[in-house]
Every structure is written in C-alpha cells, then in structure tokens.
C-alpha cells in the first residue's frame, strides 16, 4: 500500500495498480489529473501495487476482484478513514470537477449506471460502437455480439438472478466501516475458477451482490463517463483515424473531459487506448486558451446588452 496523498477529510481515492507496465501508464497519464483533483478537495490518494491475496489461494482472482479486499485492509491501516472511492487506473479526472464524496450517501454504495441513467440511449451507443468498429477497425468485428446483451441475459449467463440495472464497477464509493466486511465476504464467496464471459472480471457478480443488497445510490453519469460511449455518440468521425496520436483525438478527449467529471477508458479496442498519450496531458495543463476558458467559466455574467454585433465580411 502506497499513500500518495494523505487525506484532510478522511476520504480517499484508491486504485489497484499491479504490474510495472500498468503502474507506468497510471503514473504517466492518470496521476497528474487525479493528484490535482485530490489536492483541490483535500482527498487522500492511495494505490496498491501488489496482490492483496496470495496467488496460491483457491480464492485468488484478478486485480479487479481484489478491490473488494481494500476496505478491510484500510480499516486496519488508516486511522479515522471514512469513505473510499475505488477507481480504475484508466480513468482521467477533470481537476475542476466537484467533490465526488459530496454526492455519496454513507449508508449506501454509490455507483454510476451503465444502462438506464445515461444522457443518451444505451442501445444506440452499443449499436454505433458495433457498426463503426466493423466499418473502420475490422470487418471481423460482429455487428451483433455480447456488447449488446440484455440485462436479463447478462445475469442469466452468469447463473445469477437478473437485476434491474448494470453499473460500471470501474468506480464506486463505500463507507469503510459499513461495507468492509460485506465486500470481503463477497470476495471469498467465489473461487478463482468462477465462470465469466468477461474474462474472469467481477463486474456482473459485484453488480448482482450490490443490487441484491439494495443499499445502492446512483450518482451522475458525469462521474464515470464511458469514453467508448462518448466517442460513438458524439465523436464517431474519430473511428476513421484509428490512432491515439492524432490532434483531433486529443481535442475530442479534452472536450469530453471538460463536459464530464471522470472519463473512463474501459475496454480493449483502439478507443480505450486513447488516454495513453503525453500530448493529451500536456495540452490539458499547458494550453493557455484552456486555462483562460476554465477561469472564464467561473465568472458571473451580467448579460448587459451591447447592441447588435455582426462579424466583418
């Protein structure tokens, strides 16, 4: 466990960053954004760089599952800790975003819906993704696949009772005191050979357990905007580029980050690699125009009429 920033509020953002390559990506591309955000709101920042359970254990599972063990460990290590926001490494944080903990309810698990509370149609988004990947990335990409699976079939294929929604487990907030034992219990409920169409991830099982428990608080989509959705709905022209080093892609990512709070690059296709770019970080923090815009956004406008103004021809 590595404490990057000590909290002034007893609230922490935590990430599991196992592996040298993952750490390098996180340190180079994500850290500059989340660090400024934490400093602004007095939040702590902690990362875990080693497995939280032995690989020899029958219950060892990949790092995404091990997020469920974080609360129990922090309870023992950090005095007076209150709430934790678990956050995947491939999330960029808008440093100007509001404090996410102000939207959390201490007696619930705060999550972001992946299906029903989007600012656009989920079905349209996944159809756009399938169509554009097939057209511009690979003709082998199926137009009808598991990306468009119904909620009912999602849980059914995992032998779980269907729930009313699905949230992205890449980000959630919980009270350490209230939920550390429950999360640990859920982790040891499933052995490492658990079947999953997502490659052994915890997404569907965690969804099932949280929604079954019923103590759930849905927060604004902007706290975990999904980049593949954003690109498919608002920036579909980027599919023609296929590269993560194009200036147009950088501008689109920055615009999406400005329009949202946290931007998650979940997935394994080309879109999900677009955060791994130093130009993106440099453009965000060094652009004079962007700094001026951020400053101007805080100005209170008086709306005083100045007469009819027209551009010169």
User: The tokens of 161 are what?
Assistant: 């009772």
**C-beta of residue 205 within 8 angstroms of C-beta of residue 160:** yes
The CA distances from residue 149 to 123, 181, 210, in Å, are: 10, 32, 20
193: confidence class by pLDDT, cuts 50, 70, 90: low
pLDDT at 305 over 60: yes
The CA distances from residue 218 to 50, 61, 81, 202, 211, in Å, are: 30, 27, 22, 19, 11
CB environment 38-51: b (16+ within 10 A), e (fewer): beebebbbbbbeeb
Report CA 96 to chain centroid distance, whole Å. Answer: 17
Cα radius of gyration rounded to whole Å, the chain: 21
- Residue 199 has what pLDDT? 65
State the average pLDDT over residues 33-39.
97
192: confidence class by pLDDT, cuts 50, 70, 90: low
pLDDT at 196 over 60: no
- Residue 287 has what pLDDT? 85
Terminal-to-terminal C-alpha distance of the chain: 62
What pTM does this model have?
Answer: 0.93
194: confidence class by pLDDT, cuts 50, 70, 90: low
293: confidence class by pLDDT, cuts 50, 70, 90: confident
> Tens of pLDDT along 206-241?
999 999 999 999 999 999 999 999 999 999 999 998
pLDDT at 302 over 90: no
> Tens of pLDDT along 257-290?
999 999 999 998 999 999 998 889 889 998 888 8
- Residue 291 has what pLDDT? 85
> What is the chain's mean pLDDT, rounded?
92
> Tens of pLDDT along 130-179?
999 999 999 999 999 999 999 999 999 988 999 999 999 999 999 999 99
Angstrom distance (rounded) from CA 234 to CA 237: 9
- Residue 207 has what pLDDT? 96
User: The tokens of 129 are what?
Assistant: 């993704």
Pairing assessment for the beta strands 262-264 and 225-226 based on DSSP bridges: parallel
- Residue 198 has what pLDDT? 55
Domains of the chain: 2-295 (3.90.550.10)
> Tens of pLDDT along 37-70?
999 999 999 999 998 888 888 888 888 899 999 9
User: The tokens of 247 are what?
Assistant: 């200036």
- Residue 242 has what pLDDT? 76
**C-beta of residue 223 within 8 angstroms of C-beta of residue 103:** yes
**C-beta of residue 147 within 8 angstroms of C-beta of residue 130:** yes
- Residue 171 has what pLDDT? 97
**C-beta of residue 208 within 8 angstroms of C-beta of residue 160:** yes
pLDDT at 251 over 80: yes
- Residue 123 has what pLDDT? 97
pLDDT at 104 over 70: yes
**For a pLDDT cut of 90, what percent of the chain falls above it?**
74
- Residue 255 has what pLDDT? 95
């Amino acid at each position: 466990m590595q404490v990057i920033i000590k909290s002034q509020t007893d609230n922490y953002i935590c990430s599991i960053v196992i592996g040298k390559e993952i750490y390098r990506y996180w340190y180079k591309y994500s850290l500059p954004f989340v660090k400024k955000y934490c400093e602004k709101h007095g939040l702590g920042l902690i990362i875990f760089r080693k497995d939280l359970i032995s690989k020899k254990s029958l219950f060892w599972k990949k790092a995404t599952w091990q997020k469920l063990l974080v609360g129990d460990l922090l309870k023992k290590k950090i005095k007076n800790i209150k709430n934790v926001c678990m956050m995947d490494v491939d999330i960029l944080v808008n440093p100007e975003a509001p404090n996410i903990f102000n939207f959390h309810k201490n007696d619930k698990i705060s999550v972001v819906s992946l299906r029903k509370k989007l600012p656009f149609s989920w079905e349209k988004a996944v159809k756009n993704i399938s169509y554009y990947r097939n057209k511009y990335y690979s003709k082998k990409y199926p137009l009808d696949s598991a990306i468009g699976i119904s909620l009912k079939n999602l849980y059914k294929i995992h032998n779980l009772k269907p729930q009313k929604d699905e949230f992205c487990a890449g980000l959630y907030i919980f009270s350490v005191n209230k939920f550390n034992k429950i999360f640990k219990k859920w982790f040891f409920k499933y052995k490492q050979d658990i079947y999953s169409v997502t490659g052994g991830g915890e997404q569907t099982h965690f969804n099932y357990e949280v929604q079954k428990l019923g103590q759930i608080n849905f927060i604004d989509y902007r706290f975990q905007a999904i980049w593949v959705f954003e690109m498919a709905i608002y920036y579909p022209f980027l599919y023609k580029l296929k590269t993560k080093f194009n200036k147009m892609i950088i501008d689109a990512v920055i615009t999406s980050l400005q329009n949202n709070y946290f931007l998650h690059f979940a997935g394994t296709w080309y879109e999900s690699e677009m955060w791994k770019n130093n130009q993106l970080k440099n453009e965000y923090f060094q652009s004079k125009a962007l700094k001026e815009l951020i400053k101007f956004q805080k100005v209170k406008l008086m709306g005083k009429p100045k007469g009819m103004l027209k551009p010169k021809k």
